[in-house]
Chains A and B, each alone.
Chain A
Amino acid sequence: MRLSTLLISGAAALCASVSASAPNATRDQSRQILLSEFKPPQVFENTNLVRNVNLEKGYPRETINVVVKNVDKEPQTYYYLAFDATVVDRVGGLEVRNKKSEIAEPYQIDFGSFSETDAVNFYRISIDPPLAPSADLTLSISYTVLSALTPLPSVIEQMDSQTVTYNTSAYAISAYKTHNQKTKLRFPSTNIPDYTTLPSTSSDNPSDPTRQGASFTYGPYVDIPALTTAPISFRYEFTKPLLHAPSLQRDIEVSHWGGNVAFEEHYALHNRAAALKNHFSRVQWQMTQYSSPPTTALKELRIPLRAGSSDPYYTDDIGNVTTSRWRPKTGLLEMKPRYPVFGGWKYTFKMGWNADARMYLKKAGAESYLLRVPFLEGPKMAEGVEYEKVSVRVILPEGAINIGLNTTVPIESSEISIHRTFMDTLGRPTVIIHATNVVDEWRDKGDLLITYDYPWTAGYRKPLTLAAAVFSLFAAVWVLGKVDTRIGKK
Chain B
Amino acid sequence: MSSFIPLARVAVGDQPYEPFVSKNNQFIVAFVLLLISLTLSGVFALNRSLISLPVVGVPASLAFG
Chain A contact residues, CB within 8 Å of chain B? 256-260, 356-359, 361-365, 368-370, 402-406, 414-418, 429, 449, 451, 462-471, 474-475, 477-478, 481
Could you tell me the distance between the alpha carbons of A429 and B20 in the complex, rounded to whole angstroms?
22
Q: What is the chain A residue whose CB lies nearest that of B7? A: A404
Are the C-beta atoms of A357 and B19 separated by less than 8 Å? yes
Could you tell me the distance between the alpha carbons of A260 and B20 in the complex, rounded to whole angstroms?
12
Q: A258-B19, A474-B44, A478-B53 are in contact. Are A404 and B61 (CB under 8 A)?
A: no
How many residues from B make CB contacts under 8 Å with A?
A: 38
Are the C-beta atoms of A403 and B20 separated by less than 8 Å? no
Could you tell me the distance between the alpha carbons of A108 and B11 in the complex, rounded to whole angstroms?
25
Are the C-beta atoms of B18 and A474 separated by less than 8 Å? no
Are the C-beta atoms of B48 and A481 separated by less than 8 Å? yes
- Nearest CB of B to A474, in Å: 4
Are the C-beta atoms of A259 and B23 separated by less than 8 Å? yes
Q: A259-B21, A361-B17, A478-B50 are in contact. List 7 more A-B contacts (CB 8 A).
A: A257-B20, A258-B26, A260-B23, A358-B16, A359-B16, A414-B4, A477-B44
Q: A466-B65, A474-B61 are in contact. Are A416 and B2 (CB under 8 A)?
A: yes
**Contact pick for A418, options B1, B41, B50, CB 8 Å:** B1
- Nearest CB of A to B59, in Å: 10
- Nearest CB of A to B20, in Å: 7
Q: A466-B64, A474-B60 are in contact. Are A370 and B5 (CB under 8 A)?
A: no
Interface string of B1-15 (1 = CB under 8 A from A): 111111110111111
- Nearest CB of B to A407, in Å: 10
User: Which residues from chain A contact B5 at a C-beta distance below 8 Å?
Assistant: 402-404
Are the C-beta atoms of A362 and B64 separated by less than 8 Å? no
Could you tell me the distance between the alpha carbons of A431 and B7 in the complex, rounded to whole angstroms?
14
Are the C-beta atoms of B57 and A474 separated by less than 8 Å? yes
Could you tell me the distance between the alpha carbons of A478 and B45 in the complex, rounded to whole angstroms?
9
User: Which residues from chain A contact B12 at a C-beta distance below 8 Å?
Assistant: 362-364, 370
Q: Which of B4, B18, B48, B49 has the most CB of A within 10 A?
A: B4
Sample (17) of A-B pairs whose CB atoms are under 8 Å apart: A256-B19, A361-B16, A362-B13, A363-B13, A363-B15, A364-B10, A364-B12, A369-B17, A404-B8, A449-B7, A451-B8, A463-B62, A465-B65, A467-B61, A470-B60, A477-B48, A478-B50
Are the C-beta atoms of A403 and B4 separated by less than 8 Å? yes
User: Which residues from chain B contact A474 at a C-beta distance below 8 Å?
Assistant: 41, 44, 53, 57, 60-61
User: Which residues from chain B contact A406 at a C-beta distance below 8 Å?
Assistant: 7
A-B contact count (CB 8 A): 108
Are the C-beta atoms of B7 and A451 separated by less than 8 Å? yes
Q: A362-B16, A451-B10, A463-B65 are in contact. Are A356 and B23 (CB under 8 A)?
A: yes
User: Which residues from chain A contact B11 at a C-beta distance below 8 Å?
Assistant: 364
Chain B contact residues, CB within 8 Å of chain A? 1-8, 10-23, 26, 37, 41, 44-45, 48-50, 53, 57-58, 60-62, 64-65
User: Which residues from chain B contact A451 at a C-beta distance below 8 Å?
Assistant: 7-8, 10
- Nearest CB of B to A475, in Å: 6
Are the C-beta atoms of B17 and A471 separated by less than 8 Å? no
Q: Shortest 5 CB-CB distances between A and B: which pairs?
A: A467-B65, A259-B19, A404-B7, A358-B16, A470-B61
User: Which residues from chain B contact A429 at a C-beta distance below 8 Å?
Assistant: 1
- Nearest CB of A to B8, in Å: 7
Could you tell me the distance between the alpha carbons of A404 and B65 in the complex, rounded to whole angstroms?
31
User: Which residues from chain B contact A361 at a C-beta distance below 8 Å?
Assistant: 16-17
Could you tell me the distance between the alpha carbons of A449 and B48 in the complex, rounded to whole angstroms?
53
Could you tell me the distance between the alpha carbons of A339 and B17 in the complex, rounded to whole angstroms?
42
Q: What is the chain A residue whose CB lies nearest that of B65? A: A467
Could you tell me the distance between the alpha carbons of A362 and B2 in the complex, rounded to whole angstroms?
25
Could you tell me the distance between the alpha carbons of A373 and B21 in the complex, rounded to whole angstroms?
23
Are the C-beta atoms of A467 and B62 separated by less than 8 Å? yes
**Contact pick for B18, options A358, A402, A414, A471, CB 8 Å:** A358
Q: Which of B20, B44, B65 has the most CB of A within 10 A?
A: B65
Are the C-beta atoms of B53 and A475 separated by less than 8 Å? yes
Are the C-beta atoms of B17 and A259 separated by less than 8 Å? yes
